[in-house]
Amino acid sequence: MTTAVPALRIIEYDDSQARAFHDINAQWIEAMFVLEQTDRDVLENPQARIIDPGGAILMVEADGLGVVGACALQKTGPSHFELTKMGVLERARGLKAGEFLLAAVIKRAKAMGADPLYLLTNQICAAAIHLYEKHGFVHDAQIMAAYGARYERCNVAMRYHG
């Protein structure tokens, strides 16, 4: 007997998802690292730090599980966007929610004219790095030099090349 995989759908962030956005990201960050001040600023003020300056937040919802993942596009320059604060709750691992969400965020970034679209991470996040590579991100020293100092934990910078 096979178990049905819950249907996934992308929903737009609004203030009603502020707690979910915070908790999804705090869970994975605190499991592997320490919440830095820049994390707290974004997670506690997503409207002011992401949406109002021209960014976007997408959430992924799974049938029967509710909101299980989140990802933000933070505007960092005229057309520069950082793919940031991407996380999926442990209870949804294995549903491909992260892959589904990443594809939607890349599509949104393209529609927003993101150039470059980049991300900052840590080599400890090997599964995430593999997912990013699978979706067209490549390691980039220029991105590291320009943006890598934003987080103490950052030792990997990647740029989307499609």
Q: How confident is the model at residue 124 (pLDDT cuts 50, 70, 90)?
A: very high
Any domain includes 128: yes
Query: At 50, phi and psi to the nearest 5?
Result: -115, -60
**Predicted confidence (pLDDT) at residue 5 exceeds the cutoff of 80:** no
pLDDT at 107: 98
The boundaries of the domain holding residue 93 are 8-160
Any domain includes 148: yes
Any domain includes 1: no
Any domain includes 2: no
- Between CA 89 and CA 139 the distance in angstroms is 26
Exposed, middle or buried: residue 119 (CB in 10 Å: 0-12, 13-18, 19+)?
A: buried
Q: What is the mean pLDDT of the chain?
A: 95
Torsion 102-148-41-126 (CA) sign: positive
pTM recorded for the entire structure: 0.94
**Predicted confidence (pLDDT) at residue 150 exceeds the cutoff of 90:** no
Any domain includes 3: no
Contact 69, 25 (CB under 8 A): no
CATH number at residue 122: 3.40.630.30
Any domain includes 93: yes
Q: How confident is the model at residue 121 (pLDDT cuts 50, 70, 90)?
A: very high
Q: How confident is the model at residue 54 (pLDDT cuts 50, 70, 90)?
A: very high
pLDDT at 23: 97
Any domain includes 54: yes
Provide the number of structural domains found in the chain: 1
Any domain includes 88: yes
